[in-house]
Amino acid sequence: DQQVKQNSPSLSVQEGRISILNCDYTNSMFDYFLWYKKYPAEGPTFLISISSIKDKNEDGRFTVFLNKSAKHLSLHIVPSQPGDSAVYFCAASAFGTYKYIFGTGTRLKVLA
Amino acid sequence: DTGVSQNPRHKITKRGQNVTFRCDPISEHNRLYWYRQTLGQGPEFLTYFQNEAQLEKSRLLSDRFSAERPKGSFSTLEIQRTEQGDSAMYLCASSSHTTGSTEAFFGQGTRLTVV
């Protein structure tokens, strides 16, 4: 049972435009969500997180939006840069647990 | 402190051999996690420690897998009698209980190939 789903395996965006990566979840007990970026042969790098008490969190070019009623979150990258090309993972955890459940990832390619 | 450190980076072993991986977390972090990632999948949780106590184990962690964190510092993950299905990237992460944020920081991983 895939509790965290990233339905788009890949996404291509022109440099300077907005990248929108989507994530859906099924477990209503999840209350903390994170996005990680992963380059080949490296471990995931933390990007941004959001608690379920918020619906938006911004950090520089990265903004995460959370829609609890739809059980959906998205990561916006504006403006996209070639160095953003990587695999992006959405992850979630439930209150009182510390393990993350990851999606299968979306490969973002930013074209120069 | 340069982050979470994992050794070795790569390990090739013959089926049936035992292997051990080491993880050194960020020094002030009291939580340590092990995940496994296979091709095309996201990381899957294996186990987690708070200080030296192993508080949760996934059912993915069969009897052939054991993890320790003596003295609440570095951790080791041992796989006995390796099988080809154990081939994966093994990721370690750590987080702090005291900073108020719960994001975990990952190491670069140990890639295991069982031949």
A-chain residues near B7 (CB < 8 A): none
Question: What would the pLDDT profile of A19-66 be if each residue is shown by its tens digit?
Answer: 999 999 999 999 999 999 999 888 999 999 999 999 999 999 999 999
pLDDT value of residue A21:
98
Chain center to CA of B54: 12
Judged by CB atoms within 8 Å, which residues 19-38 of B form the interface with A? 31, 33
pLDDT value of residue A26:
96
Residue of B51, B91, B102 to mutate for A, most A C-beta atoms under 10 A: B102
| B110 touching chain A per CB within 8 A | no
pLDDT value of residue A87:
97
Cα–Cα distance between B1 and B27 in angstroms, integer?
Answer: 7
Question: What would the pLDDT profile of B53-112 be if each residue is shown by its tens digit?
Answer: 999 999 888 899 999 999 889 999 999 999 999 999 999 999 987 655 678 999 999 999
Number of neighbours of residue A93 by Cβ within 10 angstroms: 22
When pLDDT is averaged across residues B22-48 and rounded to a whole number, the result is 94
